[in-house]
Amino acid sequence: MTQPNDMLLNLAGVCKHFGGLAALSGVSLHIKRGEIYGLIGPNGAGKTTLFNVITGLYQLDEGTFNFDGSDYACCKPHVLAQAGIARTFQNIRLFANMSALENVMVGRHLRTRSGIWGALTRNRAARVEEQAIEERAHELLRYVGIHRPSNTLAKNLSYGEQRRLEIARALATEPKLLALDEPAAGMNATETESLKELMKKIRASGITVLLIEHDVKLIMGLCDRVAVLDYGKKIAEGVPEQVRNDAAVIAAYLGTDSPRPHAGEGQGVRVSE
């Protein structure tokens, strides 16, 4: 169907156990370049575990992990960041006591090189680089729509701005795949709407987006393709329309009349509007 190099991320048969608990059992994901790929599922379905495997925070126990044509199974987070996977966190993890600008500047770390010697001598190369870092950071702050004085401490930003700052920081690493872990959590309708615009803008700039979300409406309106996880297994994948009408998905979210083997309670999330 698609050429292999159309695929940015290929996961096959990924398993992850925590003791006796199989958080992921045999999950396969294929993310194409330039799409917004949604990952949904009830609480405890393994979304964040999968996410942490993709970003190197957890090492996978079984399966293959191919990103942009190379194998990255069991790599450390900074190696994956270098390869081009950047992420945000479900519970915001900014550098709280650094300014908004500095937060983004840290994101430039892996695309810049000046070391101790450059810092001590402030030679031409180091100064030019430092200036470029700062300019790019200012640019990114504007890009995500933070119009505060750039020396505002990250923790003094509003909640919505902190979410955006995380995205700016991730974008600073020049990712090929931007992985967002529930970016709209706790946002009001207006904020969610502008976040949606931002994600479209990011996709238009050529960055592939992987999105975990609880807000099914947002996922359905935004994603090109969606995968649904339940109890560590992928139960459906496809375009939003297809997934929305999938019997297994409806069962996972709303429950069925006949009890399922591990029937979890419904999340109260309506799949269809």
In the complex, which residues of this chain contact other proteins (CB under 8 A)? 55-57, 76-78, 81-82, 86-87, 89, 93-99, 102, 105-110, 112, 114-116, 118-120, 122, 126, 129-130, 133, 149, 152-153, 156-158, 169-170, 172-173, 190
CB of 102 to other proteins, least distance (A): 6
If the CB atoms of residues 122 and 201 are measured against other proteins, the closer one turns out to be: 122
CB of 152 to other proteins, least distance (A): 6
What pairs with residue 30 in β-bridges? Answer: 10
- Tokens 């931002």 — which residue? 198
CB of 16 to other proteins, least distance (A): 18
If the CB atoms of residues 10 and 114 are measured against other proteins, the closer one turns out to be: 114
What are the tokens at 54?
């993709």
CB of 126 to other proteins, least distance (A): 8
If the CB atoms of residues 87 and 164 are measured against other proteins, the closer one turns out to be: 87
Could you give the strand order of the β-sheet that contains 85-87, starting from the edge strand earlier in sequence? 85-87, 177-181, 208-212, 36-40, 225-230, 233-238
Q: How far is CA 17 from CA 233, 242, 252, in A?
A: 13, 30, 21
CB of 238 to other proteins, least distance (A): 30
If the CB atoms of residues 96 and 263 are measured against other proteins, the closer one turns out to be: 96
CB of 75 to other proteins, least distance (A): 12
Identify the three-state secondary structure at position 161. Answer: helix
146 burial via Cβ count (<10 Å: 0-12, 13-18, 19+): buried
Residue 181: CB atoms within 10 A of its CB come to 22
If the CB atoms of residues 15 and 110 are measured against other proteins, the closer one turns out to be: 110
If the CB atoms of residues 210 and 222 are measured against other proteins, the closer one turns out to be: 210
Residues 6 or more apart from 171 whose CB is under 8 A from it?
A: 86, 107, 140, 143, 144, 178, 202, 207
Tell me phi and psi for residue 212, to 5 degrees. Answer: -100, 135
